[in-house]
């Protein structure tokens, strides 16, 4: 059997408290629905981020082909690749954050993953504005969705912080002394 809070293995089956974190064994998580909702929202945001990355990859060759046929500058196409790379990286971190949230482990990493998803949405808006793409509706819709789901999941994850297992190692117990005698300070010999 493992502790519900810290996840450590319980060695003393008759103990009423965890030896590592001190939580009573009869205590249940306060509201597991919050972490489940947060994990689900992170998965949805990560899926939208992956979709934005896919759109960036699809639009890249179309952009080059269109502007090359017009003998125009195609240097703006790099924005699609940047958008795709950042969206895929944020999506990977988002899926990792969702997994950590659903398993209620590593609170700080889970929050960092949700914040990175929000950064992905902001980058989507900035890239669409900077490169002045003519068809940003799908990208902006996905970016708004990523931002909304990321903000909501960050709020839910931070609200349910107590549900996450502690990741710190317990401090080793100091060995008990078998001697109960106190030592007197040594005095220097008199001359």
Distance CA 7, CA 131 (A): 48
> Could you identify the residue written with the tokens 């960092």?
112
Domain ranges of the chain: 37-161
Cβ contact 32:107 at 8 Å = no
Which residue ranges of the chain lie beneath pLDDT 50?
Answer: 27-28, 167-171, 177-178, 180-181, 183
Residue 14 pLDDT: 72
50-99 pLDDT, tens per residue?
Answer: 888 888 888 788 878 887 888 887 777 777 788 888 889 988 998 988 88
CA atoms within 13 A on the CB side of 148: 8
Question: Among residues 3, 40, 1, which one has the least CA distance to residue 20?
Answer: 3
Amino acid 168: pLDDT: 46
87: left (phi over 0), alpha (psi -120 to 50) or beta: alpha
* Bridge partners, 9 (sequence order): 2
Q: What are phi and psi of 2, to 5 degrees?
A: -115, 155
Q: What share of the chain is helix, strand, coil (3-state, %, to 5)?
A: 60, 0, 35
Identify the pLDDT of residue 167: 47
Q: What is the pTM of this model?
A: 0.64
Structure tokens given for 136: 């940003």
């Amino acid at each position: 059997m493992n502790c519900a809070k810290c996840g450590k293995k319980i060695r003393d089956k008759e103990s009423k408290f965890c030896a590592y974190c001190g939580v009573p064994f009869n205590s249940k998580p306060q509201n597991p629905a919050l972490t489940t909702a947060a994990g689900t929202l992170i998965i949805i945001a990560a899926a939208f981020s992956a979709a934005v990355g896919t759109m960036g990859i699809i639009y890249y060759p179309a952009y080059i082909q269109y502007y090359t046929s017009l003998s125009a500058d195609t240097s703006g196409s790099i924005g699609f690749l940047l958008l795709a790379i950042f969206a895929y990286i944020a999506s990977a971190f988002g899926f990792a954050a969702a997994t950590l949230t659903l398993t209620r482990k590593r609170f700080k990493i889970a929050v960092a993953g949700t914040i990175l998803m929000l950064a992905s949405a902001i980058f989507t808006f900035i890239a669409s504005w900077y490169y002045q793409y003519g068809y940003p509706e799908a990208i902006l819709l996905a970016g708004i969705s990523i931002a909304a789901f990321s903000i909501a999941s960050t709020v839910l994850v931070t609200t349910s912080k107590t549900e996450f297992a502690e990741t710190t190692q317990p401090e080793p117990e100091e060995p008990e002394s078998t001697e109960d005698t106190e030592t007197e300070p040594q005095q220097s010999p008199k001359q």
